[in-house]
């Protein structure tokens, strides 16, 4: 059990390090080279996903072929692609209006969004220790925000704070929807299908948004090998994040992943001590270890699924290869609790009629 907990925490920290890389390359692009191109950066990632995963779906045969998937579920993936794109855009845009501390704190709003959506749509049930772990993680995040204020870390423009705060809350909400939808797809369908369809629709919509909103900014970029290298680094980290996140979500959960990502700002800060000469405070270390303790508390026991066997048909098209329930007898409403963690054959299943 301890080994499983440590693996879960370690996997989440790999994602945090990738986000740290994304943040550092974006900071260099925007502040040192004045390349404010968040949509173009997302477009590059979606193109990579398209080239790797969408083409994989295109050469598959049968029901897992790209055209077969589009016939059954195209409009659902279209909505998901839009949600994913705008979640990224809103949070990046918020940096122009509000402070860094506000973004760090309000971005935690993704956690209650994921919990509520997981409860109602994935039917995941939590224990008291899970809520305790979540509370400790958010406490650690508050400690980090307090340290930023005490050391006078650069807070951003803050010219229209209300607009910026609303953008962060909107982005966090869309992130939560995207993450829970992602968890559902990779548990009921496949990781390659999710990434392939995100690559297809994400590239399509980000290309349109780029042409409408950001083409002038792109023309202003002073292209040289350093900027090119930063775009390559950003795209590599982003592609790695998108490719690896479904693996971690399937191993843990969307809630656990979002708690793990709280340490990403701290990794960026630790790098910034050397790269940008940030001031150090002992509260940063306290914050880091507080979040890790919260993660270990959350990962110390499994969540449960209250599963009505009819619920998990909703994303699939009825004409697809879905196994129907037996019709020999009338189906009674029921809830079955099963562990999301590593199961054994001896594990009891509690059935509530």
| pLDDT of the residue at 173 | 95
Contacts of 139 (CB under 8 A, 6+ apart): 290, 294
| pLDDT of the residue at 71 | 93
DSSP 99-134: -HHHHHHHGGGHHHHHHHHHHHTS-EE--HHHHHHH
Q: Is the dihedral of CA 91, 96, 100, 106 positive or negative?
A: negative
pLDDT in tens, the chain (353 residues): 678 888 888 999 999 999 989 888 988 888 788 888 889 999 999 999 999 999 999 999 888 899 999 999 999 999 999 999 999 888 888 877 776 667 777 888 999 999 999 999 988 999 999 999 999 999 998 888 888 777 766 555 556 778 888 998 999 999 999 999 999 999 999 999 999 999 999 999 999 999 999 989 998 888 999 999 999 999 999 999 999 999 999 988 899 999 999 888 888 888 888 887 777 788 888 999 999 999 999 988 888 887 654 444 444 444 444 444 444 444 433 343 333 434 333 444 444 33
Determine the straight-line distance between the first and last CA of the chain, rounded to whole angstroms: 31
| pLDDT of the residue at 344 | 39
The CB density around residue 88, as the number of other CB atoms within 10 Å, is 22
CA distance 228 to 235: 11
242 in Cβ contact with 22 (< 8 Å): no
CA distance 200 to 197: 5
Pick from 252, 211, 223: which is nearest to 114 by CA?
252
Tokens of residue 127, six digits: 């224990």
The angle, 0 to 180 degrees and rounded to 10, between the axes of the packed helices 66-94 and 191-209 is: 60
Tokens of residue 101, six digits: 């501390």
| pLDDT of the residue at 154 | 57
| pLDDT of the residue at 9 | 87
**Edge-to-edge strands, sheet with 350-352:** 124-125, 304-307, 335-339, 350-352
CA distance 19 to 64: 31
316 in Cβ contact with 59 (< 8 Å): no
Tokens of residue 180, six digits: 């829970």
Q: Residue written as tokens 């002073």?
A: 222
């Amino acid at each position: 059990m301890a080994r499983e907990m440590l693996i879960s925490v370690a996997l989440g920290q790999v994602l945090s390090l990738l986000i740290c890389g994304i943040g550092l390359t974006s900071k260099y692009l925007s502040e040192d080279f004045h390349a404010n191109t968040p949509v173009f950066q997302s477009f590059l990632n979606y193109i990579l996903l398209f080239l790797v995963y969408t083409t994989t779906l295109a050469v598959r045969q049968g029901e897992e072929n790209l055209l077969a998937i589009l016939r059954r579920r195209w409009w659902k993936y279209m909505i998901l692609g839009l949600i994913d794109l705008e979640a990224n855009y809103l949070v990046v845009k918020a940096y122009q209006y509000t402070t860094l501390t506000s973004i760090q704190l309000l971005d935690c709003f993704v956690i209650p969004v994921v919990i509520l959506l997981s409860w109602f749509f994935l039917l995941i049930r939590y224990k008291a220790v899970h809520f305790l772990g979540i509370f400790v993680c958010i406490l650690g995040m508050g400690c980090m925000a307090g340290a930023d204020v005490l050391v006078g870390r650069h807070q951003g423009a803050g010219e229209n704070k209300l607009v910026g705060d609303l953008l962060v809350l909107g982005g966090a909400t869309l992130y939560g929807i995207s993450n829970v939808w992602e968890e559902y797809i990779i548990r009921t369908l496949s990781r390659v299908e999710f990434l392939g369809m995100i690559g297809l629709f994400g590239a399509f919509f980000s290309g349109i948004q780029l042409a409408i909103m950001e083409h002038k900014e792109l023309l202003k970029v002073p292209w040289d090998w350093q900027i090119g290298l930063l775009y390559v680094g950003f795209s590599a980290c982003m592609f790695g994040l998108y490719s690896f996140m479904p693996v971690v979500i399937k191993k843990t959960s969307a809630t656990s992943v979002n708690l793990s990502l709280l340490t990403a700002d701290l990794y960026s800060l630790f790098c910034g001590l050397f790269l940008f000469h940030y001031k150090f405070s002992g509260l940063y270390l306290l914050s880091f270890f507080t979040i890790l303790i919260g993660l270990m508390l959350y990962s110390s026991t499994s969540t449960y699924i209250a599963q009505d066997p009819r619920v998990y048909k909703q994303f699939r098209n009825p004409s697809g290869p879905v196994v129907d329930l037996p019709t020999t007898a009338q189906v009674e409403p029921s809830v079955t609790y099963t562990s999301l963690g590593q199961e054994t054959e001896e594990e009891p299943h509690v059935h509530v009629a």
